[in-house]
Amino acid sequence: MSKVKALTSRLSFFGLAVIFLCLKTYILYKVGFSIYSENARQEFLLMLNPLSSSILLIGLSLFFTNKLRNVMVIVTSFLATLVLYFNLLFYRFFTDFLTLPVLFQTSNVQDLQGSITELMSFADLLLFVDIIFLFILLMKKKIPTVQRKKREAIIMVAVAVVIFFINLDIAHKERSELLTRSFDRELLVKNIGIFNYHTYDAYIQSQSRAQRVLANSSDIIEVKNYTQANYKEPDPEMFGIAKGKNVIVLSVESLQSFVINETLNGEEITPFLNDLIKESIYFDNFYHQTAQGKTSDSEFLLENSLFARSSGAVFFTHAGNEYHALPEILGEKGYFTSVLHANNKSFWNRDVMYQSLGYDRFFDINSYDVNEDNSIGWGLKDVDFFEQSIELLKSQPEPYYSKFITLTNHFPFELGEEDRLIDEYNSNSRTLNRYFPTVRYTDKALEVFFDRLKEEGLYEDSIFIIYGDHYGISENHNRAMSMFLGKDEITPFDTIQLQRVPMIVHIPGYDKHEINHTVSGQIDLKPTIMHLLGIESKKDIQFGSDLFSPERESFAVLRNGSFITEDYVFTNETCFNKEDGTKTERSYCEPYFDRANQDLEYSDKVIYGDLLRYYEKEE
């Protein structure tokens, strides 16, 4: 008994730090990350899973001796708290958890500073209260200085490992396929804990890097057979309808479909786009399929008809891969290809990635006159961006394929009074409130751009592909969103429906305008554009299909494994009836499981194995 008391006394400071870290991790799960438990077992896992990692992390301090041991208890507690806090900031905007590739995207930090400041709260200091308390105890010498006993450290490591495997066993009973769903980060955090998740994420990243080394030319055959089996023949009427025309792609920042044909205080939010839709083909069931790479992911989907990574940004992690991208294909057909984006060329590693995709020219911030008067938020305002881009367009040889990326409608949605064409919304969310004026401003900027194209004679001989790149309002603003939509709450079904973004195909002179209801996504853009230009895509490796194809299946899979069909939505391990958003039997969604998983897995296989380096050899 005396030995137990002695051990308890020696480990009291350590134990206190472990309790604090476990407690605040659990509170953060419930308050910061809003993790919901469906049953008592899940709630128990939320309370249990911080324990093994807390004992292990703070247990590292037990390898030190004398005063240094107690100092290291505080240091490791502080570092663990920073991990929690960085995840909290990231979650507040992306509703997601950090991954290793994101941490290495350091070149983006300077551009993100304004957004990070917006995400911080004075209440965040509460996360560090325990650190301050432990420090005060140490300074007041309330904690005894102890000699190092190596067995204590070893015992704690062993205890941590045992608790982890108990945790894992319970988690597997709750979710048998847990460790095969690395793309579902909330599921992993919910079951094994945030610190254990980061360890697992590091393992997954190392595995993905090894895939390139182990890949060989035979791997592409299996993928090619799969994509060709899913190929859909183009509509003869639409195939080649825009042959030889210039292609102008407009990637509109954070534009979601819920603002289209909607009003705020009696005023249209997007009056220009509403009118343009009447003269175009509008896809009202079109979903963004991005993950942590956001805008860069949407670009990757557009250019390659491949899914981006489930973690990090493929623009960073696989910029050195070989691709057979849309700019390269169009370049081979005599098109001049370019990107116009008034931002630093290194942001999202675009300067490197665009070369891999086959672009001829990147008109970055150095191609524009950017100053304090014409900038807000992330940089050059959209009206000025489009005005200045006219001369750049005119400088290009025809035909050209040019992609524009807007900036103003970007979180935190800042806008000067002189540019506000509609009042803010009135809710508990400053983010949603400010979203509407910036959307309205971007809509006006698009109108200015189209007017200028007509004035300069650039409109008639072009086709326009306009789409939202990703969501602008995350799940953290569900309460305000439910208020705007007139709902009691935002359900998981509603969350998926809010991932819809506008997609418009505008062809001057083409008079068959319609609203197309096919379920689709950004991965379908490449084959659609190729077929509109009269370029066959059957031999190309792509996971999307022509939006106009009569054979097209109404289907879209999101990067997190959720999917949407004509009649059902599957998300959060639940099947929903699309007609009324109610839960229905899982069996209705099961026929689509293989298709959704295979699309993601085969696409990942192409990227991680860099399989397109074998494409020309296979051809």
User: Any idea which residues carry the catalytic annotation?
Assistant: 295
C-alpha span between 72 and 530 (Å, rounded):
60
99: which 2 tokens? Answer: 């991954």
Q: Is 96:90 a contact under the CB 8 Å cutoff?
A: yes
Q: Provide the 3-class DSSP secondary structure of residue 520.
A: strand
Distances (CA, A) of 554 to 188, 268, 287, 536, 563: 30, 30, 12, 21, 11
Residue type, 339: V
Neighbours of 294 (CB within 10 A): 21
Q: Is 341:377 a contact under the CB 8 Å cutoff?
A: no
Q: Is 216:588 a contact under the CB 8 Å cutoff?
A: no
C-alpha span between 429 and 526 (Å, rounded):
36
Instruction: Tell me how many degrees the CA angle 52-54-59 measures, rounded to the nearest 5.
Output: 100
Distances (CA, A) of 241 to 302, 462, 513, 533, 536: 20, 11, 14, 7, 13
Distances (CA, A) of 129 to 77, 78, 240, 419: 11, 10, 65, 43
C-alpha span between 348 and 455 (Å, rounded):
34
Q: Strands, E, within 94-202: which ranges?
A: none
> Quick one: CA torsion of 164, 170, 176, 181, rounded to 10 degrees?
-40
- Cβ burial 593-604 (10 Å sphere, 16+ → b, else e): eeebeebbebbb
Q: Provide the 3-class DSSP secondary structure of residue 582.
A: coil
C-alpha span between 238 and 240 (Å, rounded):
6
Q: Is 245:510 a contact under the CB 8 Å cutoff?
A: no
C-alpha span between 385 and 446 (Å, rounded):
10
Q: Provide the 3-class DSSP secondary structure of residue 461.
A: coil
Nearest to 186 by CA among 97, 308, 313: 97
Neighbours of 339 (CB within 10 A): 23
279: which 2 tokens? Answer: 């003269």
Q: What would you report as the CA-atom Rg of the chain, rounded to the nearest whole angstrom?
A: 26
